[in-house]
Amino acid sequence: NGVTVPGRPATIVIFGATGDLTRRLLVPALANLCFDGLLSEELNVIGIALRDGDDESLRVSLDEFAPQTQCWQRLRQRTSYLPGDFTLGTVYERLKQRLGEGDAAFYLATPPQFFGVIVDRLADAGLTEEHDGGFRRVVIEKPFGHDLESARALNQRILSRVNESQVYRIDHFLGKETVQNILVARFGNAWLEAVWNHRYVDHIQISAAEAIGIGTRGAFYDTTGALRDMVPNHLMQLLSMIAMEPPNSFDAEVIRDEKAKLLRAVRRITPDEARSDAVRGMYAAGQVNGQMIPAYRETPHVDPNTATETYVALKLMVDTWRWTGVPFYLRTGKALAARDTEIVVTFNPVPYATFRETPVAHLPANQLVFQIQPHEGIDLGFLVKRPGPQVEAVPVALDFAYAEKFAVAHRTGYETLLYDMIMGDQTLFQRADQIEAGWAVVQPILDAWARGEGVLEEYTPGTSGPRAADALIARDGRQWHALGR
């Protein structure tokens, strides 16, 4: 009915409460939900971290990033701090005394090596047990494993202590309005779903480009790289939403079933395809928007001889009736021409017979662009006649921008996800089988690169990436959608 209600009273326990994720994203998102009337006035926040301090010291550290509203002042007074080493059991005994029997969610805003041990300690202390209709939930950030084997091991470890229904593997990309709107646009518009198949779609591009370099994240990034950081999680989720079959309801498990089925239908890459259909690059020194960026190998905390990629492009095929023969091109990278996350659906060209007597040399194909960031919206490109005596077709666009129609400013992308977690809606959260299916897609590429196969090509900052990526799509007679357009 379109009515949203405040979440039930609960306590959100944030492990890693003094870190950037908590201060810059989680707390502002909670404050925004409070302002929107979507949090219970009895919601409490408990921060846990190793740093010494008290309730007021944590509150002061959060003030810098939280919007200074009356709502934040109320939530601020219900925020407390529990210092201690969360690898040891003593913190959990003190936490148990504070929580009592109330509803609670444990948010693991920590480095990934602590995910398993925190869940173990929570379970050992009895903090994950649910009683009398109450809930105890665990929210886990990415990266969820660093390859297929480690992802399976982490799933097995966590699910041996809690149920899948209690686990919320969070992907902030899925909190973007345009990402969620993919499902509404696809299944709420008859004309769109009618052409959503191989008969009408030529190919689909999914891009996640950043204009910035690695900055101060060298130590993390050099052990991760663009492929692990973005493809098995963010880009696989976008792929599954754009290509999944229609669900028979918007029930969370029904949607997650369809997404998991789609990911399992992605054709497994052979060793030969891992060399021919995957491109990796690394940015050299240069400028982006007038800002000098040092070469990746010269970034602090990066091995000067590293072979870690800062760019990757892939060609994937999906073996379903709907998508047979339709290639999906994925790319992501740092220090590129623009910050731009988008999905571009390019339709098949119209038959040229109608235009054979006109001076039209080439008719650009219709495109539907889901713009996810930085400017959320949807663009539909189509052809019209240019005014004048001759029949000349030119492309134009119908543009929809969220910011022009709705109040979506000053959001972190975590608001919807945190609200859904409190309400118990797992639709936008990844299930164990989805996580493993995403890793299974990229594992042959990781294996090939570990064997030293594939050229690591340098590219200039401020461009669209390495030349090999252009060649990857050009050999099929196609080209990348321009970044930032």
101 Cβ contact list (under 8 Å, min separation 6): 131, 134
Active-site annotation holds for 375: no
Please give the Cα distance from 184 to 180 (Å, whole number): 7
Among 172, 203, 234, 481, the one annotated catalytic = 234
Please give the Cα distance from 163 to 120 (Å, whole number): 13
How many other CB atoms sit within 10 Å of the CB of residue 150? 14
pTM: 0.92
Nearest to residue 113, comparing CAs of 76, 87, 83, 80? Answer: 87
294-311 residues labelled b (16+ CB within 10 A) or e (exposed): bbbbebeebeeebebbbb
Please give the Cα distance from 264 to 268 (Å, whole number): 9
Determine the number of helices (DSSP H) and then strands (DSSP E) in the chain. 18, 17
Are the CB atoms for 366 and 379 separated by under 8 Å?
Answer: no
Quote the pLDDT of residue 44. Answer: 96
Quote the pLDDT of residue 359. Answer: 55
Beta bridge partners of 105: 12, 137
482 Cβ contact list (under 8 Å, min separation 6): 464
188 Cβ contact list (under 8 Å, min separation 6): none
Nearest to residue 239, comparing CAs of 247, 248, 228, 230? Answer: 230
Per-residue pLDDT of the chain (485 residues; tens, 9 = 90+): 344 688 889 999 999 999 999 999 999 999 999 988 999 999 999 999 999 999 999 999 999 888 888 989 999 999 999 999 999 999 999 999 999 889 999 999 999 999 999 999 999 999 999 988 899 999 999 889 999 999 999 999 999 999 999 999 998 878 777 787 888 889 989 999 899 999 999 999 999 999 999 988 888 899 999 999 999 999 999 999 999 999 998 888 999 999 999 999 999 999 999 999 999 999 999 999 888 999 999 999 999 999 999 999 999 999 999 999 999 999 999 999 999 999 999 999 877 656 556 555 567 789 999 998 888 889 998 888 888 887 777 888 889 888 788 766 667 779 989 999 999 999 889 999 999 999 999 999 999 999 999 899 999 999 999 999 999 999 999 999 999 87
Q: What is the 3-state secondary structure (H, E, C) of 142-204?
A: CCCCCCHHHHHHHHHHHHCCCCHHHEEECCHHHHCHHHHHHHHHHHHCHHHHHCCCCCCEEEE
